[in-house]
Every structure is written in C-alpha cells, then in structure tokens.
Amino acid sequence: MPETLRFAVYPTPELAIRAAADLFTALAPQTVALAGGNTPKELYGLLASDDYRDRTDWHELEIYYGDERAVPPNHPDSNYGMSRRSLLDLVPIQPDSVYRMEADDADLEAAADRYAQLLPQHLDLVLLGMGTDGHTASLFPGDEACDEHERRAAPATAPNGARRMTLTFPTLNSARHVIFLVLGADKRDALRQIRSGKQLPAGRVAPGRGDVTWIVDAAAYGDA
Ligand code: 6PG
C-alpha cells in the first residue's frame, strides 16, 4: 500500500463526480480503462454532456475495461453495455477503439489471455470503484485473481460465485494514473479499513511510477 493515500473529499456526490470529470479531462488520456458498477454512470453522463464533451479528444481515445461480468454485451449487468449507453454512444469514439472484455466466452481463461494481448504496456488512466467489501475491478478479497503476478487479465469469481474477468494488480499498478471514485455511506467501513492500512484489494492499487487519486464524498469518507 502506498505510504500516503491521497483522498480528495467532497461534501456531495455531485461535486465529487464533477471533480472526477475535471481530473479526467485534465489528464487528457489516450488509453483508459473504464470502471463498472453503478457509481461511474453519472461521471460518464457528465463527460458526454455539453459542458464536458468537447474537452476530450474522443477520436484519439482507446477504451478498455477494468473488469466485466460473464454476460453478453446487451445484458443489463454488462459493464460494456452500461458504458455504451451512458457515454460511448454519445461521443465520437472510433468503433474499433473500444475493447470489450469477452467475459461471456465459454473459455474465460483463453478470453482473458486474448484480452491481455490487447492491453498497452501502461494504461494512461484507470477508473476504479470500490465495493463494500473493499474489492476493486473484480479483485475480490480472498479470490485467486488477487494473487496473479504475471497475467495482465484473468478470470475471477465474485463472492456470490458469479464469473468475471478482471485486470490484475500488475496491470493496475503499471498505470500512469488511477482515479478511484467512491461515493456513499455504505463504502465508509471499507474505506476506513483501507485508511488504517488493511490490505483490502482496493488498498493494494499502488502504481510504481503512477499516481492514485481517491475522489470520495463526505458520506463515504466519514469523519476525519
Ligand atoms: C463491477 C465493478 C466493481 C465496482 C464496485 C462498486 O463490475 O461491479 O467494476 O468493481 O466498481 O463493485 O460498485 P458500485 O459502484 O455499483 O457501488
């Protein structure tokens, strides 16, 4: 875990999301891994909005994913599908610059190896969220995907047994910049554990030559 975790704490989720959009556009990344789940939906919507759309050169952007559920792209649980609806279908992205994780492939091991081949050596930016158990991407506490030291993408299993594909710590920790966006009181306990040094997966994201910025709201951060 990095010596000092940098938390930017905002009084409201809206202000935190706006800060994440400002940092995204300021970094002007060319290769980005998008986060899944619910929290990033509003961030994606803001990046696609009139206020922000022209601040990013979408034609130059390559889109990857931090993780994916083992569902087809049009399934309601698909991170790819969510990112299409809330961002990619609303901005001039090059169709062949979006690299979906084929986590619905019958041979998840082979699909993960194929995905690893597609990844740039260093992602410019990785967007991540955190679950209430301190997981990030699909790196769940106690799952063997957390012990991958060679593979850059790997199959994973969620606590409910659902199959996933995830970027591994070697890939996350070779990124140039990581932004965590974590909102809501239900994330407070895991965040407190990470702040106190507990080795939960989200706390193990520490790029050797990159930066990590935790953008959180006051509800998630709790008292100082
Ligand atoms: C996923 C995500 C996962 C997510 C956390 C937080 O596919 O579910 O990539 O790591 O970031 O579970 O999810 P919420 O934003 O929905 O709370």
Per-residue pLDDT at 5: 72
The reply to whether ligand 1 has any atom less than 6 angstroms from the CB of 136 is: yes
Per-residue pLDDT at 4: 60
Per-residue pLDDT at 223: 67
Tell me what the mean pLDDT of segment 45-70 comes to: 97
> Side by side, which strands form the sheet with 125-128?
7-10, 211-217, 177-182, 125-128, 31-34, 62-65
Per-residue pLDDT at 7: 94
What is the C-alpha separation between 175 and 123, in angstroms, rounded? 5
Q: Which residue's CA is the closest to the ligand 1 atom numbered 8?
A: 37
The reply to whether ligand 1 has any atom less than 6 angstroms from the CB of 36 is: yes
What is the C-alpha separation between 17 and 30, in angstroms, rounded? 21
The reply to whether ligand 1 has any atom less than 6 angstroms from the CB of 37 is: yes
> What does pLDDT average to over the chain?
96
Q: Answer yes or no: is pLDDT of 166 > 70.
A: yes
Per-residue pLDDT at 209: 81
The two structure tokens encoding residue 119: 């990844």
How many Å from the N-terminal Cα to the C-terminal Cα in the chain?
20
Counting residues of the chain whose pLDDT is more than 70, the rounded percentage is 97
Whether the CB-CB separation of 166 and 135 falls below 8 Å is answered with: no
Cα-based distances in Å from 207 to 31, 54, 87, 163, 173: 16, 29, 26, 26, 4
Per-residue pLDDT at 224: 53
Tell me what the mean pLDDT of segment 85-110 comes to: 98
The two structure tokens encoding residue 11: 């009084």
Per-residue pLDDT at 1: 47
Ligand 1 pocket mutation pick from 17, 65, 67 by most atoms within 8 angstroms of CB: 67
Angle at CA of residue 157, ends 154 and 163, nearest 5°: 85
The reply to whether ligand 1 has any atom less than 6 angstroms from the CB of 66 is: yes
Tell me what the mean pLDDT of segment 143-172 comes to: 98
Per-residue pLDDT at 210: 84
Tell me what the mean pLDDT of segment 58-69 comes to: 97
The two structure tokens encoding residue 188: 């407070």
Range with lowest mean pLDDT among 62-71, 171-180, 206-215: 206-215
Reported as a single tens digit per residue, the pLDDT across 112-157 is 999 999 999 999 999 999 999 999 999 999 999 999 999 999 999 9
